[in-house]
Amino acid sequence: MRRRLTLNQQRAVQGILFIFPWLLGFAVFIAKPFVDSFIISFNTVDMMAGFSLKFVGWQNYVEAFTIDANFVPTLLRTVRDMSVNVPVILVFALFTAFLTNQKLVGRAFFRGVFFLPVVIASGLVVEQLFKQGAGTLGGASDTLSALNLPGLVTMYLGPFADTVNSLLSRINLVLWSSGIQILLFLSGLQGISSTQYEAARCDGATDWEMFWKITLPNLTPILLVTIIYSIVDSFTDKMNPMLNLIKNYAFTGQFRLGYAAAAGWVYFAIIFAIIMVVVGSSRWWVFYSGSRD
Amino acid sequence: MAKVLEGLRSKTVGQPWFLIYRRKSENLFFRLLMYLVLVNIAYTFLYPVLYMVSTSLMTIEDFVDPAVYYIPRAPYWENYKLAFDGMKYDLALKNSLIIALVSAVGQLVSCSMAGYGFARSKFPFRDLLFGMVIFTFIVPPQTIIVPLFILYRQLGWIDTYNPFIVPSFFAHGLRGPLFVIIFRQFFMRQPWELEDAARVDGCGSMGIFFRIMLPLSKPALLVTFLFSLVWHWNDFYEPMMYLMKPQNFTVPLRLSILQSTLNEVTGGMAGELFNEPLVMAACFLVVLPPLILYLFAQRHFVESIERTGLVD
């Protein structure tokens, strides 16, 4: 005779029922392709013969790092772009969130405008726009050139001038991808209770001190979320050169699916390592206030 | 004068101007500077859109004429007509709308259920599985694209809507894991008392979810729906992978083959007709539907993340 489940067991079964579609989807659309991709990366795939595999060991990986003239430079460029773009986006988003968190005339308008790129930034449209120079004209770029910033950078920053100037030339594009981050910071700022500021003010703290001792520590949990989001966003961005490189390996010319899988795996390993470093370091700099269970 | 300067200094000593919290600044100068910076940033953000709209209404003569700056001599609507034909906009719009709407509905249903399960139930390996949700979010599409392509090919899903629609009904698809996380955070903040009361009254888990939690979660449902819609609309990478025949193309894909389609439609005239104003008109047609949606639902987009408690 079937034993009746305890209440907790019933609840567990119901919980599993709720996540069951997700679990199924995870198995079919993520877990299996993920493992398959790993296996394929050690093989060559014959597309004509029903995707039959031929084991070649580490050959795909060796080729990516030693023979392929595109892979390593593109990879390095992607990582370099990420490490420059993400801090710029974070600082800009935090700054903008501060500004739009104040009592302003037209606050709704500004918030609406800053979020606009999230809605209309269709990959190809952005490409077309910025190809035509809309990325280097207008707004922030004009201001920077008016200050002769590119010239100054070349003069004073020497070896880093290239990186910085390439950022300056793309600055509008970089700022364009900070909509979600502005929103995250805004909600973070609004989540800080005003009593902390009032108490600090009674104790004679200046705004400057309050920023470093109240605002920033309270924002660190959101900062962590925002950093991870920005890193992932940067690595999977539509205009990311790596995206096209891997697609071209797989689906143009010789249809080298095995090689593309190996490239995809190297790419994943690097993203994963970077995110693990960020998450791992977070226990030294993320501050959780109040009670958490 | 000296007195004014002195007053200015005493108010701002030791604090940069931009760190004036919600307290109203009494200092006119710094307020002006702040507006200047904001207007400058807003201009940066709006510039590409303004450029797109103004260029799209120019004739090619206006476009190359340096005397014409921003405002064309007379709005030239022919670009839009050509762009409409050149992208087969009616057909592409239908494809895009089906993919975006059906996928958004799928993600709405499946992600809210998964989010609720993770937020409110205890079962073995729950935290490990939720870790997998986050893991899914950071796996780049490039890593799994090859096996997925093979899978879809074997299922005969290439050139159908299935590669977009089916995963979204299983809480995956475009940024599906992000929506699961949003829903989990949202449900975790809801009071237990409602649920307990319903349980005492004899309501089962499904009843609680559909009759109590879902009606409560309108803000989270709305944000998921809007974002899913817009992200699916703008997606380029996956449609490019799985759609081969032009008649199945979504609107952004159509933009990429604008020149050749135009050539076909006009009988080899594209060489003369294809120019920057036309491309900008086509771009504007691509962003128009999300733009309209945004104009009506702007408030929900911007406020929604705060209300869903994603950041707690």
CATH code: domain of residue B253 = 1.10.3720.10
Q: Are B158 and B242 in contact (CB under 8 A)?
A: yes
Nearest CB partner across the interface for A19, out of B117, B138, B240: B117
Please say whether the dihedral angle defined by the alpha carbons of residues B35, B36, B39 and B44, taken in this order, is positive or negative. Answer: negative
The predicted structure's pLDDT at residue A12: 87
> What is the C-alpha to C-alpha distance for residues B283 and A126, in angstroms, rounded to an integer?
9
Residue B119 falls inside a structural domain: yes
Architecture of domain A72-135+170-285: Orthogonal Bundle (1.10)
Cα B55 versus chain centre, distance: 24
**What is the token pair recorded at B111?**
């992600």
Q: Which chain A residues are Cβ-neighbours of B240 within 8 angstroms? A: 247
Q: Which residue of A has its CA nearest to B291?
A: A120
**What is the token pair recorded at B43?**
């201009």
Q: Please say if the pLDDT value at position A199 is more than 60.
A: yes
Q: Which tens digit of pLDDT belongs to each residue from B102-113?
A: 999 999 999 999
Q: Please say if the pLDDT value at position A136 is more than 60.
A: no
The residue of A100, A111, A116, A245 whose CB has the most chain B CBs within 10 angstroms, and thus the best one to mutate to test that interface, is A116
Query: Taking CB atoms and an 8 Å limit, are A15 and B122 in contact across chains?
Result: yes
Cα A190 versus chain centre, distance: 23
The residue of A19, A103, A202 whose CB has the most chain B CBs within 10 angstroms, and thus the best one to mutate to test that interface, is A19
Q: Which tens digit of pLDDT belongs to each residue from B80-90?
A: 988 898 889 99
The predicted structure's pLDDT at residue B89: 92
> What is the C-alpha to C-alpha distance for residues B254 and B281, in angstroms, rounded to an integer?
13
**Mean pLDDT over all residues of chain B?**
83
3-state secondary structure of A105: coil
Q: Are A202 and A189 in contact (CB under 8 A)?
A: no
Q: Which residue of A has its CA nearest to B114?
A: A19
The predicted structure's pLDDT at residue B109: 93
Q: Are A201 and A44 in contact (CB under 8 A)?
A: no
The residue with tokens 């008016």 is: A146
User: Amino acid identity, residue A199?
Assistant: A
| pTM higher than the cut 0.95 | no
Residue B66 falls inside a structural domain: no
- Which residues, in sequence order, are CB contacts of B92 under 8 Å at separation 6+? B249, B250, B251, B253, B254
The predicted structure's pLDDT at residue B25: 47
Query: Taking CB atoms and an 8 Å limit, are B124 and A12 in contact across chains?
Result: yes
SS (H, E, C) A241-261: HHHHHHHHHHHCCCCCHHHHH
Residue B227 falls inside a structural domain: yes
- DSSP conformation letters of chain B: -HHHHHHHHHHHTTS-GGG--SSPP--HHHHHHHHHHHHHHHHHHHHHHHHHHHHHT--HHHHH-TT--SS-SS--THHHHHHHHHTTHHHHHHHHHHHHHHHHHHHHHHHHHHHHHHHH---TTHHHHHHHHHHHHHS-HHHHHHHHHHHHHHHT-TTSSHHHHHHHHTT-STTHHHHHHHHHHHHHTS-HHHHHHHHHTT--HHHHIIIIIHHHTHHHHHHHHHHHHHHHHH--HHHHHH--SGGG--HHHHHHTHHHHHHHHHTS-HHHH--HHHHHHHHHHHHHHHHHHHHHHHHHHHHHHHHHTTT-
The predicted structure's pLDDT at residue A135: 47
B90/chain A closest Cα distance in angstroms = 19
Structural domains counted in chain B:
1
Q: Does A241 touch chain B (CB under 8 A)?
A: no
Range of the domain at B173: 90-257+293-308
Residue B25 falls inside a structural domain: no
The residue with tokens 């340096």 is: B66
**What is the token pair recorded at B162?**
């299935």
Q: How far is CA B26 from CA A194, B3, B5, B7, B9, in A?
A: 20, 16, 14, 11, 13
User: Amino acid identity, residue B59?
Assistant: T
> What is the C-alpha to C-alpha distance for residues A58 and A41, in angstroms, rounded to an integer?
8
Which residue would you say has higher pLDDT here, A275 or A64? Answer: A275
Q: Are A217 and A286 in contact (CB under 8 A)?
A: no
User: Amino acid identity, residue B25?
Assistant: S
Task: Identify the weakest region by mean pLDDT among A152-156, B137-141, B287-291.
Answer: A152-156
Q: Does B113 touch chain A (CB under 8 A)?
A: yes
Q: Which chain A residues are Cβ-neighbours of B233 within 8 angstroms? A: 122
Query: Taking CB atoms and an 8 Å limit, are B110 and A25 in contact across chains?
Result: yes
Nearest CB partner across the interface for A14, out of B121, B129, B133: B121
Beta bridge partners of A55: A43
Helix axes B141-155, B162-169, angle to 10 degrees: 110
Q: Are A50 and A138 in contact (CB under 8 A)?
A: no
Which residue would you say has higher pLDDT here, A138 or A229? Answer: A229
Compute the radius of gyration of chain B from its Cα atoms.
26
> What is the C-alpha to C-alpha distance for residues B216 and B78, in angstroms, rounded to an integer?
49
Query: Taking CB atoms and an 8 Å limit, are B18 and A98 in contact across chains?
Result: yes
Q: Are B300 and B177 in contact (CB under 8 A)?
A: no
B192/chain A closest Cα distance in angstroms = 15
Mean pLDDT of A32-60: 84
Q: Does B126 touch chain A (CB under 8 A)?
A: yes
Helix axes A241-251, B141-155, angle to 10 degrees: 40
The predicted structure's pLDDT at residue A143: 60
Residue count of chain A: 293
> What is the C-alpha to C-alpha distance for residues B73 and B57, in angstroms, rounded to an integer?
9
Task: Identify the weakest region by mean pLDDT among A18-32, A137-151, B165-179, B219-233.
Answer: A137-151
Q: Please say if the pLDDT value at position B26 is more than 60.
A: no
A4 conformational bin, left if phi > 0, alpha if psi -120 to 50, beta if neither: beta
Residue B168 falls inside a structural domain: yes
Nearest CB partner across the interface for A211, out of B19, B150, B171: B19
Which residue would you say has higher pLDDT here, A37 or B218? Answer: A37
Task: Identify the weakest region by mean pLDDT among B10-24, B180-194, B259-273, B279-293.
Answer: B10-24
Residue B49 falls inside a structural domain: no
Q: Are B157 and B163 in contact (CB under 8 A)?
A: yes
Nearest CB partner across the interface for B236, out of A18, A29, A122: A122
Question: Which of 111-130 (A) contact B at CB < 8 A?
Answer: 111-126, 128-130
Query: Taking CB atoms and an 8 Å limit, are A40 and B209 in contact across chains?
Result: no
Mean pLDDT of A50-73: 84
B268/chain A closest Cα distance in angstroms = 23
> What is the C-alpha to C-alpha distance for residues B104 and A147, in angstroms, rounded to an integer?
46
Q: Does B10 touch chain A (CB under 8 A)?
A: no
Q: Which chain B residues are Cβ-neighbours of A190 within 8 angstroms? A: 306
Residue B94 falls inside a structural domain: yes
Residue count of chain B: 312
Query: Taking CB atoms and an 8 Å limit, are A265 and B233 in contact across chains?
Result: no
Q: Are A254 and B132 in contact (CB under 8 A)?
A: no
**What is the token pair recorded at A12?**
């567990």
Specify the pairing of strand A52-55 against strand A43-46: antiparallel
The predicted structure's pLDDT at residue A147: 57
Residue B213 falls inside a structural domain: yes
Query: Taking CB atoms and an 8 Å limit, are A114 and B20 in contact across chains?
Result: no
- Which residues, in sequence order, are CB contacts of B65 under 8 Å at separation 6+? none
Query: Taking CB atoms and an 8 Å limit, are A99 and B34 in contact across chains?
Result: yes
